[in-house]
Amino acid sequence: MAEITPDHKNIVVLGLTQNGKSSFVNSILRYAQLENSEAPIIGNGSTSQTKDIRKYSTKINIRRYSVRRNGQRTDLTHNSEGSRVVITYDNEGGVASQKYEPLTFKESFDQETGERLLITQEFQQNIRRLQAGLVPDIPEPSGCFVKLNMYDTPGLSDSAGIKDLERDFIKQGYREIEAKEAATKCTRNLIDEKHKLSIINAVNKMQVLHGVCIVVRDGKNFGQELKELKSLVEPFRSISPNLNFYMIHTRVTNITMFQAKTLNRIRMSEEFFKLRATHFFVNNEPDLGDDEHEGDPLSQHFANRVLSDFLFELAEAPGVKVGTLQYQKADRILEEVVASSLRIYSSYLESTNRSLREKIQELQIKKRPYIQKSELYDKELEELRLKRSSIDTRERVLVGEDGYDITVGFFRSAHTVTFSILTDTPIRHVEYSPTNHHDIRWDKESEGIGGFKSNPKLTVYNGEFKARVTAFSYKSDLEEDKISSIASQMNSISELRDRQSKEIKRFQQRIDEAKSEIRENLLF
Please give the Cα distance from 33 to 411 (Å, whole number).
95
- Give the type of residue at 304: N
Residue bearing the bigger pLDDT, 195 or 4: 195
Using CB atoms within 10 Å of the CB of residue 46, give its burial: 0 to 12 exposed, 13 to 18 middle, 19+ buried: exposed
Strands (E) across 236-290 are located at 245-250, 278-281
- pLDDT value, residue 42: 42
| Residue 38 pLDDT > 50 | no
- pLDDT value, residue 1: 37
Digit-coded pLDDT (tens) for 335-379? 554 555 556 667 767 888 888 999 999 999 999 999 999 999 999
Query: Which of 508, 187, 196 has the alpha carbon at shortest distance from 349?
Result: 187
Digit-coded pLDDT (tens) for 294-315? 889 999 999 999 999 999 999 9
| Residue 334 pLDDT > 80 | no
Residue 140, helix vs strand vs coil: strand
Note whether 279 and 266 are within 8 A (CB). yes
- pLDDT value, residue 366: 93
Average pLDDT (189-214) is 75
| Residue 5 pLDDT > 50 | no
CA distances from 134 to 129, 350, 513 (A): 10, 62, 55
| Residue 470 pLDDT > 90 | yes
β-pairing verdict for 457-460 and 440-443: antiparallel
- pLDDT value, residue 397: 95
- pLDDT value, residue 203: 78
Confidence at 92, pLDDT banded by 50, 70, 90: confident
Digit-coded pLDDT (tens) for 386-413? 999 999 999 999 999 999 988 876 655 6
- pLDDT value, residue 138: 92
- Give the type of residue at 418: T
- pLDDT value, residue 306: 94
Average pLDDT (436-449) is 72
DSSP string, 349-373: HHHHHHHHHHHHHHHHHHHHHHHHH
As beta bridge partners, residue 473 has: 397
Average pLDDT (139-156) is 86
Confidence at 43, pLDDT banded by 50, 70, 90: very low
Digit-coded pLDDT (tens) for 250-282? 889 999 889 888 888 888 888 888 888 899 999
- pLDDT value, residue 335: 52
Averaged confidence pLDDT in the chain: 81
- pLDDT value, residue 381: 95
- pLDDT value, residue 186: 62
- pLDDT value, residue 45: 37
CA angle 318, 273, 104 (to 5 degrees): 105
CA angle 209, 197, 207 (to 5 degrees): 25
- pLDDT value, residue 206: 81
- pLDDT value, residue 242: 86
Residue bearing the bigger pLDDT, 188 or 44: 188
